[in-house]
Structure 1
Amino acid sequence: PRETVTSLVLVEDFSEARYISLLTTQGRIKRVELSEFASVRPSGIIAMNLDPGDELSWARTTSGDQELIVVTAGGLALRFDENAVRPMGRAAAGVWAIRLRPDDQVTGFDVVNPDGDLLVVTAKGYGKRTPLSQYAAKSRYTQGILTIDHTRLDETGPVITGRVVDPDDQISLITTGGIIIRMRVSDVNQMGR
């Protein structure tokens, strides 16, 4: 099969981050001890077995006691403790992170900063940020809670990304037409869920 790069993880010190959490677009998550990737051949090694049609799209390093947040195209977000996903070997397929609706898929994944905001952006350029304190931690493999008005998705387009941000961060949005828009996170309206 033809493969493309979908995520990059910067690891300066293998002793600081203990795990790498991997997530697919169909909602499978896997947590692997980072030491499993300390020696990688130039040709690469298997990080996760995938179901047909699924894609590994996100990789995040964690310390072992953090929370994760998953965002879907349909406007749902699920926050849960990373320990809800037991560490697995590289060949494992993982477990379900979020219970997706039949026509939904994962579009965002990040590590929670309790003082940060969740920034969601839709395909038609609508964006908002919401304090992460408004997303209570739930059990893994539940449906999550609304983060954007799902009745307006025809107007706004589906959610294309969800990222944890701080007000002093800057973001760059890139359109399919090659236009880059750069702005301060603080310029994006902060709203409730």
Structure 2
Amino acid sequence: MRTSKTRAVARERLCARWEIDEAQANAVLDLNLGQLTEDAVIEFRRESEELQKEAARLRALLASPTKLRRQVGVELDDVVPEFEGVALRVTDIVTEAQPRVSKAAMVLDTPATVAVDVNGWVQASRAGTKAKLKLEPLWTFDTSTAANLVVITNGGQLHRALVASVPTDKPTAAANLFPGLDPAAKVLGWWIDDTFPDDVLYLLSDGQVKRTSGDDLVGGDRKGGIATVKCAAGVEVVAVLPFVEDTPLLVVTAAGQGIRFLPDDVRPMGRSASGVRGIKLAPGDAVIGAGWAPDGRVLLAVAAKGAGRRVPVEEFPVQGRAGKG
């Protein structure tokens, strides 16, 4: 440095002599020359040797998958005590890209029970917890946290949500559980995905009936769910039933008409189809309900003003589909 005429010359000679880069040479040039005593040089050399040893150790670690895994294990062991006793947290990372790993695969699979009340409020209880249900269940499902809860609404939308996302401390409305579910929508069917029907039968208010394979009803975990049936303006789904072969179906209208027929000839259709005619409606009439009605069953019919009666289903003779009933 003392024998160089300019700073640039000194920097160039330092880089060539010590095989350092320009930034390191500038750092040396910025030092007070009083620091360049014999003791300081010894300290610099000692620090340099330590850094070179650490760099060599890290290079060897990165070059060996076995050593790298062992190091990760050691560091995880160090942080375990810090997080012991912390409650299970499920983090949902949402990106535009499709995740390679399903959400269910990232959830700890533990036994759970899901309860749904008459108003569609949902709560879960998990094995090993002391949380109690704070609702009167209409339906209960014994399942696991890695399973999916599946619903279909009167708008024909199918939604899915992980059982792990169902709260255990208090009930929640379905609209809070399924992203994009219209709060005004009515949930017609609740299932767990591993018990979802092979075929699903839809009854629409305009008298149409539709059958869809359960294999076509995948997805539904994205916001808004998926459409499973095409509804015309002013038409809604009034019943969603697991399809049962060789069993009569009873369809009832607001005007008090009823028809019982075997829907076996209704072939499975895609999600965009609106179905085929199940009952021929009079002007202004609409389907209000449907259910499986084998011989021996009794229909309980209740009028809008509260009057009710029981009718044996045999009084509705099995006939062809699309009649007036």
TM-score category of the 2 structures, normalised to the smaller one: 0.7 to 0.9
Aligned match for 1:101, one of 205, 219, 232: 232
Which amino acid is 2:306 matched to?
A: G
Which amino acid is 1:56 matched to?
A: K
RMSD of the alignment, in Å? 2.8
Larger RCO of the pair (alpha carbons < 8 Å, separation 6+): 1
In the other structure, the counterpart of 1:59 is 189
CA–CA separation in structure 1 for the residues paired with 2:296 and 2:150: 26
Higher strand share: 1
**SS of equivalent residue, structure 2 residue 318:** coil
Higher helix share: 2
Residues 153 and 237, structure 2, Cα contact 8 Å, conserved in 1: yes
Identity of aligned residues (%): 18
Residues 205 and 287, structure 2, Cα contact 8 Å, conserved in 1: yes
How many residues are matched? Answer: 182
Residues 9 and 61, structure 1, Cα contact 8 Å, conserved in 2: no
In the other structure, the counterpart of 1:191 is 319
CA–CA separation in structure 2 for the residues paired with 1:148 and 1:164: 15
Aligned match for 2:169, one of 41, 46, 54: 41
Q: CA offset at residue 126 of structure 1? A: 0.4
Q: CA offset at residue 161 of structure 1? A: 1.2
With the length of structure 2 as denominator, give the TM-score of the two structures.
Answer: 0.49
CA–CA separation in structure 2 for the residues paired with 1:38 and 1:130: 39
> Unpaired runs of 5+ in structure 2?
1-117, 122-136
Residues 220 and 226, structure 2, Cα contact 8 Å, conserved in 1: no
Which amino acid is 2:231 matched to?
A: L
Structure 1 residues 163 and 21, CA, compared in 2 at 3 Å: closer, same or farther?
farther
CA–CA separation in structure 2 for the residues paired with 1:101 and 1:108: 16
Larger Rg: 2
In the other structure, the counterpart of 2:213 is 81
With the length of structure 1 as denominator, give the TM-score of the two structures.
Answer: 0.78
Residues 65 and 83, structure 1, Cα contact 8 Å, conserved in 2: no
> Unpaired runs of 5+ in structure 1?
none
Aligned match for 2:155, one of 10, 26, 51: 26
Aligned match for 2:303, one of 166, 171, 175: 175
**SS of equivalent residue, structure 1 residue 11:** strand
